[in-house]
Amino acid sequence: MSFQVFGIPVSRGVAIGRAVLVASSRVDVAHYFVGPDQVEAEIERAFRARDEVAREFETLKQDLRGDTPQELAALLDVHLMLLHDEALIGAATQWIIDRHYNAEWALSAQLEVLARQFDEMEDDYLRERKADLEQVVERILSALAREQGLVPVDAASVVQRDFAGEDPLLLVAADIAPADMMQFKRSVFHGFITDIGGKTSHTAIVARSMDIPAVVGTREASRLIRQDDWIIIDGDAGTVIVNPSPIMLEEYRFRQRQSELERARLARLRHTPAVTLDGERIELHANIELPLDAQGAIEAGATGVGLFRSEFLFMNRDGELPGEDEQFAAYRAAVEAMRGMPVTIRTVDVGADKPLDRMSASELRHEHVLNPAMGLRAIRWSLAEPSMFRQQLRAIYRASAFGKVRLLIPMVAHLHEVRQILEAVKKVQQQLNDAGHAYSHVELGVMIEIPAAAVMLPLLLRHVDFVSIGTNDLIQYTLAIDRADEAVAHLYDPWHPAVLQLLASSIGLARAAGKSVSVCGEMAGDPAFTDLLLAMGLRSFSMHPSQIPSVKQRVLRADAGRLATFMPEIMGSEDPRHEAELAFARNKPARALQ
């Protein structure tokens, strides 16, 4: 039966394929693909774990005393029967053969299939046997974990393989942490769906960086969609179509082909300078998470890196923070890959929806904080861990000897924070001098993410070389909205008059002070805001590489001076979005890119 699930569109395009459910479990499960030469060994792993659990049950039965209730012995017999049922291990091995799932993933997938069958049974007694099945599978998973000699990784964690079978795979999960999303880069998944999340949650941002269709905040998708269902992800409308009809499939396949043609056309703009019709040169920089992403920035035609999110070097490390030399190597690799173009490295921005496995030596735990988005995060955490902070600063400064590096500090709200940062920089420079490490001049910038920073920007500009506006958090804090919470996602509004006032004011103040200003939040990569930001006077955008072509096309078609004349009526309107759409559509330049 075909049905639809609705959510929040966070990454555009259409994806069609088979559902891969990463179901939550009381036992954490590793999910990864095995190579063709590992299939037999993986099947043997599954059977060895099954046999180990069978021996455990047999031992338990032998140890039962005479006064033990007969029901307990009967329950052990039920578990043994389930353990040897071909519908469990036999079917699970088929997942290994057909999809090259690892044994743990195969068992989880088959558990999902069988659990749904139990749920649909009319007999109450049989329906309640699902709990027995879950207990049996969890015992097998525990046996597999013991065999590996380690605790399985997070349920959303996937080690990538090139093999994925013939059909495209679409990931369905209750939620995917940003750190786990990072492991999906260059993966076999062509799209993803989650039950929770918002349009500008970091999970959504990474999805856009992968340039694959995604829908979040569906609430029920992981419960309603079955393992291996055919599904369509409409990343433009925020719709998921499950078991679509042949007519629906053909319609969306046509849309897929049209989207691919449009991407190919935009790709031809790669080497075209981003210059408006009235001659304004616009910087289109890239946001990256890892050094390897720098190559993608070059290929997309980026003129630099406007945001290197260094926190992703700190994640998925079981609490062990990267050392100075490891960080230096990563920053140097990115700097050298950009071939002389500027690289802006943001100091570690953890907290809220990007916690570390172990936040610090004091073992900070964000799950115990009532509102982590306003807690000890970003620069607040760095200043609370001065040794770690200086270590990162040394690595960044050492990388500056190999290219143009700029240092960006997140979540600044107080002048005393800026003074502490300047003191740390001075101490780091002395340490590098004493150690004989080379470094070059590094410009210092702060992110404007907190309304207080936007209001006091004239004071901040006295101490820094540039500012970068992080619109995601600026909107979140201005409107008091958790951007990862789908329950209030409809209130997250980049067009809100207060947000636009802070944006326009920050851009204007920085330009008036002769300081460079850029926008590195999601608004920078959304073509719907390109004309508006140009009208505000913005000349430097930073976005994921995949977003550069579409934004460049808007830049090439824009007359920045003419757009600026519409700002008074837009800023004075009760509905800025509607006013901007009318003004920009009504007054398009006669000469535009064909």
For residue 322, the 8-state DSSP code is P
Decide the pairing of beta strands 305-309 and 343-346: parallel
Could you tell me if 285 and 540 are in contact, meaning their C-beta atoms sit under 8 angstroms apart?
yes
CA 443-445-450 angle, to 5 degrees, is 180
- CB within 8 Å of 506: residues ≥ 6 apart: 448, 454, 457, 467, 469, 517
**Would you say how long the chain is, in residues?**
594
Task: In whole angstroms, give the CA distance from residue 429 to residue 451.
Answer: 31
Catalytic, 437? Answer: no
Task: In whole angstroms, give the CA distance from residue 262 to residue 267.
Answer: 9
Task: In whole angstroms, give the CA distance from residue 506 to residue 537.
Answer: 10
Q: Identify the active-site residue in 190, 202, 366, 544.
A: 202
| Residue (of 515, 484, 541) closest to 286 by Cα position | 541
Q: What is the longest distance spanned by two Cα atoms in the chain?
A: 94
| Residue (of 522, 405, 509) closest to 459 by Cα position | 509
Could you tell me if 400 and 440 are in contact, meaning their C-beta atoms sit under 8 angstroms apart?
yes
| Residue (of 173, 23, 140, 44) closest to 96 by Cα position | 44
Could you tell me if 503 and 535 are in contact, meaning their C-beta atoms sit under 8 angstroms apart?
no
For residue 180, the surrounding DSSP H or E stretch is: helix 178-182
Mapped to the 3 state alphabet, what secondary structure does 472-538 carry? HHHHHHHHCCCCCCHHHHHHCCCCCHHHHHHHHHHHHHHHHCCCEEEECCHHHHCHHHHHHHHHHCC
For residue 226, the 8-state DSSP code is P
At which residue do the structure tokens 């990862």 appear?
Answer: 484
| Residue (of 375, 292, 388) closest to 348 by Cα position | 388
The CA distances from residue 448 to 344, 409, 410, 522, 545, in Å, are: 15, 9, 8, 14, 22
Could you tell me if 223 and 246 are in contact, meaning their C-beta atoms sit under 8 angstroms apart?
no
For residue 402, the 8-state DSSP code is G
| Residue (of 276, 287, 274, 310) closest to 518 by Cα position | 287
Reduced to 3 states (helix: H, G, I; strand: E, B; else coil), residue 203 is helix
- CB within 8 Å of 572: residues ≥ 6 apart: none
Catalytic, 496? Answer: no
Q: Identify the active-site residue in 100, 285, 520, 544.
A: 520
Reduced to 3 states (helix: H, G, I; strand: E, B; else coil), residue 159 is strand
**Structure-block tokens of residue 133:** 């099945």
Task: In whole angstroms, give the CA distance from residue 268 to residue 199.
Answer: 29
Active-site residue numbers? 202, 520
